[in-house]
């Protein structure tokens, strides 16, 4: 298989270091880290990611964890050159708690993650023009969320978008970044696109 360029897009409150384990398994590809400020609107991150995609020659695969998956899905819909997207534990349908917390805390992140935000409505209204594999994390759970969740994001939110291939794994929101099984799922996807 010809190598591809893989851009890793971290989640809220994280850094590119969160992908350290996964990156070890993809040395045969050109690897890029994309970092962004979650204190700023998601639209800024989407625009910056699109600018990076345009600068890379050849096929690009986006791998996004949590909020990074939402940013990746939107960038894939707007930028040419993306041949595939992998999301890991991503709140594609937003977070119900963000809807309420945003009234208590002034936060671009909470505004962007509300299920009724322009960001989430835009995400759900799209279908990327490339294959998408969404890894849905179903391990771990916070009982006060009152529905199946991975300790951070609900399963319903992770599977809210039409179009992706959904694969459930029994890890929590953070263990997904340290799973050999997840590495295999990403590898199989990248090799077949």
Residue 63 domain boundaries: 5-192
- The CATH number of whichever domain residue 45 belongs to comes to 3.40.50.1820
| Residue-averaged pLDDT of the chain | 95
Give the mean model confidence (pLDDT) for residues 165-170: 98
Residue 193 CA to its chain's centroid (Å)? 18
Give the mean model confidence (pLDDT) for residues 43-51: 98
C-beta separation of 168 from 138 below 8 A: yes
What does each C-alpha distance from 29 to 34, 51, 61, 73, 155 come to in angstroms? Answer: 16, 20, 10, 21, 31
Q: Mind listing the pLDDT tens digit for each residue in 8-18?
A: 999 999 999 99
pLDDT for the residue numbered 63? 98
pLDDT for the residue numbered 40? 95
Number of folded domains that form the chain:
1
- 157 Rama sector, left if φ>0, alpha if ψ -120 to 50, beta otherwise: alpha
Residue 158 CA to its chain's centroid (Å)? 10
Give the mean model confidence (pLDDT) for residues 163-192: 98
Q: Mind listing the pLDDT tens digit for each residue in 92-118?
A: 999 988 877 788 888 999 999 999 999
């Amino acid at each position: 298989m010809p190598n591809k360029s893989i851009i890793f897009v971290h989640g809220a409150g994280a850094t590119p270091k969160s992908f350290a384990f996964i990156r070890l398994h993809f040395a045969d590809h050109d690897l890029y880290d994309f970092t962004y400020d979650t204190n700023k609107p998601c639209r800024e991150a989407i625009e910056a990611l699109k600018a990076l995609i345009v600068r890379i020659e050849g096929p690009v695969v986006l791998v996004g964890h949590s909020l990074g998956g939402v940013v990746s899905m939107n960038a894939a819909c707007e930028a040419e050159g993306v041949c595939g997207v992998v999301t890991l534990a991503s709140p594609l349908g937003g977070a119900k708690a963000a809807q309420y917390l945003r009234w208590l805390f002034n936060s671009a992140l909470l505004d962007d993650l509300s299920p009724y935000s322009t960001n989430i409505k835009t995400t759900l209204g799209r279908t990327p023009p490339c294959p998408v594999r969404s890894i849905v994390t179903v391990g771990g759970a916070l009982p006060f969320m009152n529905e199946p969740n991975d300790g951070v994001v609900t399963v319903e939110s992770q599977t809210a978008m039409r179009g992706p291939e959904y694969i459930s794994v029994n890890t929590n929101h953070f263990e997904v970044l340290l799973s050999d099984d997840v590495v295999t799922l990403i590898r199989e996807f990248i090799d077949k696109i």
